[in-house]
Structure 1
Amino acid sequence: MQTRLRSALSALALFCTTSLALAAPATQVLGKDFEFPNTLEGMPARLSDVKGLQIKHFETSDSVNLSYWEAGSGKPLVIIPGWSASGAEFINVIHLLGQHYHVYVLDPRNQGLSERVEHGMHIARYAMDVKEFGAHLGLKSAYYLGWSMGASVIWSYIDLFGGKDIRKAVFVDEPVSIYSHADWSEQERLEAGGMTTSPERMIAAFTGSAPVNGLIADTRLFERYVAMDSPYYENSEKFVAAFAKSDPRHLSLILFDHIMSDWRDVVRNKIHMPVAIFTGDYSANVPSQRWMQSVITDASLYIYSKEEQGDHFLMFKNPIKFTRDLCEFLDR
C-alpha cells in the first residue's frame, strides 16, 4: 500500500513538474525580461507587459519538438510565421490580438525556439505539423493566419486535409508560385507572383551566400526588410535579435521545396471559407494577390499604401492598422 502511495505521489509530482515546464511565462523560458527600445502608446514597454504570454512546446509524430507562443482568451487564432520567422517577430501583434482572441503562434521546425532537425523539409510536413498542433491544442475550429511561407503551409494544409476546421483564413503577401515556369506568359507570371527561374540562385540570395540575383521581379524585399522606418518594427526586430536568432543552414533546407511549389490549383479550387488577403504598394505581389481575390468566392483584399508601410512586413511595421483591419474581418 505504501509502495503504491509513494508511486502515485511521485507520478503526481512528475506531472506537475512537466506541466509547469510546458506552460511557462515567456520571461521564464527566455531567462529574463526585455525592454523595447521605443516607448509607444498602447504597446508593451517590456516583454513582461504582454499579458499572459507563455511559451510552450509539443512533440510532432516524427519526434520534433516545436515551440509556440500563446496569449489571450476567446476564439482561437492560429498564426503560422513565414520563412526564418517565429513568434518573436509577432510580439506586438500578439499583444494587440491577445486582447480579443486566444492567440497561438507556432515556431516552425528549424525556426525560432523550435528544434533544429535535418528531416521533414517539405511544405507538406509543415502542414502536418500544423494539423498535429491543432490536435495538441484540442481545436475543433479556429481562425488561421499565414504570413509569407506560412500562407503556403496553410494552402498545403487545405490541400491535404480540407478546410472544415478553418473558420476563416488570412493570407499575408505570399506569391501563389514563387517559381516562374518557362512556358508562362507575362500575365500568368504576374497572376502567380513568379519571382525566379532559378531556385538555387534564389536560395543563395536568401541565405546570404550570393548577391540578390536570379530574380525576375523587383520585389524590394531586402530593401524593405532592412529599412527600420517604423518604431514598432524596430522594437520587434531588436527582440528577435536578442532571443530568436536563426541558423542559415537549417533555414535553407526548406527553401527548394517552398520555391518550387505551385498552389494555383488549391487557391482556385479548394478554398471555400471566408478569406482576407493583405499586401501593399511596396510589394511585387499585388497582381497575384488580386488574382487570388478574383478566384476565391468570399475574399477581401487589403492593399496598404506606402505611407501605411505596405510592404512584406506590414504586420510588424504597422501593427495597429493591421490588427484593427484583421479584427474587423474576423468579427464580421
Structure 2
Amino acid sequence: MRPVIQLASIISLMLSVSYAFATDAVTVLGENFTFPNKIEGLPQKLSDFKGLQINEFITSDNVKLSYWEAGSGEPLIFIPGWGANGAEYVNVLYLLSKQYHVYVLDPRNQGLSQNVEYGTRLSRYGMDLKEFTDHLGVKSANLCGWSMGASVIWSYIDLFGTKKINKLIIIDEPVSIYTHSDWSEEQRQQAGGMTTSPERMVAAFTTGAPSNNQVVDLAAMERYKAMDSKYFQNSEAFAHKFIKNDPKYLSLVLFDHATNDWSDVIRHKINVPTAIFTGDYSHNVPSQKWIHSVIPGSELFVYTKEEQGDHFLAFKNPLRFTYDLVAFLKKSDPVH
C-alpha cells in the first residue's frame, strides 16, 4: 500500500502547487461573472477577458498585497484611490492591455490585499509602491494615481524621486484635503481643501455619520451614488461581487491621508511628463489647475459634465479616458 499512498500524496501536492500558482482571475476569484450591461468592445463575461491575472507579493513588513495585471509591453501601473481596488479597473485594464502591460495594485487594507492594523500611513504606502516595482523588476514605468492613489505616488516621489518613473498621470486628487483655518478662499481652492475636521471626515466616509458641505465636502460621494454610466455600473457590480472591504481597516489611513499637504512635492520634485485629469462635476478643478501651473510642460484634461467629468471619470467614461491616456503616453518625451 505504501506506493499507492506515496502516489496519492504526490498527486495531492501537485494539485495544491498548481492551485497556488494559478493566477487566472476566474480561478483566483472562484467563479465567472457576467456583467449586467452588454457593451460592444468590452467583455460580457469575466472569462472573455483572456489573460487577466491576479497575483500577490509580500512586503518587507510582511503584508500580502494583491495586484491585477494584463497585457504585455511597456509597464503601466495604476494605484487606486481610498477604498478602491483592481476590480473597478476591469474596463480600463481590458482596453489598455491591448498596448501595455497594465497593473493595478490593491493597497493594504483594500481590495484583495491583506488587512493589517499597522503601516497605515502614506509614507508606508509609498514604500509599498517602491517594493511593488522592485517585485516586478521594472526599470521604469508609467504611474497613474487616482484620488488617494495620487497621494501614494507623491509620497513615493518624496521618498525615492522620479528616476524610475517614465510618465506620471494624476486623476482628480487635492493637493491638501485639510483646509487650514488661516487660508484664504483662493488658497483653499488651489489646495482642493474639502474638510475643516479630519475626524468628521473619517466618520462621514466610514460610518455615514451626518455632516455638511462646510465641514466635509461630499460632492464626490454624491457623484458616486449617481451611477449614471453603464461602464461604471458594470465595474462596480463586479467589484461588489468579489470585494468585501472592512470599514474598520479602511478608516485607519484616512486621517493621515486627509492631513497631508503635498504642495512642496508637486512644486519641487516632479520633473517627468505629467498629465492631470479632472472634470466639471468635480470641486477639484482649481487645485488641478494649480498642479498644472507648477509642473512644467504638464497637460491638463478637464472633462465636461456630458463626458462624465467627475471624480470617477476613468470608470464612467473609460473609452475617452484610455484614448486620452494612450495619446499622452505615446507623445515623445520633452527634454527635461
Q: TM-score, normalised by structure 1?
A: 0.93
Q: Once the 2 structures are TM-superposed, how far is the Cα of residue 185 of structure 1 from its aligned partner?
A: 1.0
Count of paired positions: 322
Cα 1:149–1:304 shift into 2, 3 Å:
same
Work out the CA distance in 1 between the residues paired with 2:275 and 2:148. 16
Q: Percent identity?
A: 63
In structure 2, give the amino acid aligned to 1:233. Answer: F
Work out the CA distance in 2 between the residues paired with 1:15 and 1:297. 55
Decide which moves more: 104-113 or 217-226. 217-226
Cα 1:19–1:62 shift into 2, 3 Å:
farther
SS in 2 for 1:73: coil
CA contact 2:57–2:65 (8 Å) conserved in 1:
yes
Cα 1:20–1:131 shift into 2, 3 Å:
farther
Work out the CA distance in 2 between the residues paired with 1:23 and 1:130. 24
Work out the CA distance in 1 between the residues paired with 2:241 and 2:232. 14
Work out the CA distance in 2 between the residues paired with 1:296 and 1:242. 39
Question: Partner residue of 1:146?
Answer: 145
Flag structure 1 segments of 5+ consecutive residues without an equivalent: 1-9
**Within-5 A mapping of 1:125-164:** 125-164=124-163
Work out the CA distance in 1 between the residues paired with 2:264 and 2:140. 24
Work out the CA distance in 2 between the residues paired with 1:228 and 1:37. 13
**Within-5 A mapping of 1:10-49:** 21-49=20-48
In structure 2, give the amino acid aligned to 1:261. Answer: N
Q: Deviations over 1:58-82 (max 9, x none)?
A: 0000000000001001100011000
Work out the CA distance in 1 between the residues paired with 2:55 and 2:22. 5
CA contact 2:190–2:287 (8 Å) conserved in 1:
yes
In structure 1, give the amino acid aligned to 2:267. Answer: R
Q: Deviations over 1:281-310 (max 9, x none)?
A: 000000000000000012100000000000
Question: Partner residue of 1:300?
Answer: 299
Cα 1:217–1:116 shift into 2, 3 Å:
closer
Work out the CA distance in 2 between the residues paired with 1:185 and 1:214. 17
CA contact 1:51–1:95 (8 Å) conserved in 2:
no
Q: Once the 2 structures are TM-superposed, how far is the Cα of residue 273 of structure 1 from its aligned partner?
A: 0.1
Q: Once the 2 structures are TM-superposed, how far is the Cα of residue 197 of structure 1 from its aligned partner?
A: 1.0
Work out the CA distance in 2 between the residues paired with 1:157 and 1:34. 35
Question: Partner residue of 1:272?
Answer: 271
Decide which moves more: 94-103 or 208-217. 208-217
Question: Partner residue of 2:252?
Answer: 253
Question: Partner residue of 1:322?
Answer: 321
**Within-5 A mapping of 1:1-332:** 21-213=20-212, 215-216=214-215, 218=217, 220-332=219-331
Q: Once the 2 structures are TM-superposed, how far is the Cα of residue 86 of structure 1 from its aligned partner?
A: 0.5
Work out the CA distance in 1 between the residues paired with 2:120 and 2:296. 32
CA contact 1:173–1:289 (8 Å) conserved in 2:
yes
Question: Partner residue of 1:6?
Answer: none
Work out the CA distance in 2 between the residues paired with 1:77 and 1:180. 33
Work out the CA distance in 2 between the residues paired with 1:15 and 1:183. 64
Work out the CA distance in 2 between the residues paired with 1:17 and 1:230. 41
Work out the CA distance in 1 between the residues paired with 2:305 and 2:250. 30
Q: Deviations over 1:36-67 (max 9, x none)?
A: 00000111101111120000000000000000
Work out the CA distance in 2 between the residues paired with 1:14 and 1:178. 51
SS in 2 for 1:110: coil
SS in 2 for 1:311: coil
Question: Partner residue of 1:4?
Answer: none
Q: Deviations over 1:308-327 (max 9, x none)?
A: 00000001100000000000
In structure 2, give the amino acid aligned to 1:68. Answer: Y
SS in 2 for 1:33: coil
Q: Deviations over 1:89-129 (max 9, x none)?
A: 10100000111100010000000000010000000100100
Q: Deviations over 1:219-258 (max 9, x none)?
A: 5211110112110000001001100121111100000000
CA-based RMSD:
1.8
Decide which moves more: 16-25 or 241-250. 16-25
Work out the CA distance in 2 between the residues paired with 1:19 and 1:109. 26
Flag structure 2 segments of 5+ consecutive residues without an equivalent: 1-9, 332-336
CA contact 1:55–1:68 (8 Å) conserved in 2:
yes
SS in 1 for 2:207: coil
In structure 2, give the amino acid aligned to 1:294. Answer: S
CA contact 1:22–1:57 (8 Å) conserved in 2:
no
Question: Partner residue of 2:4?
Answer: none
SS in 2 for 1:253: helix
CA contact 1:219–1:284 (8 Å) conserved in 2:
no
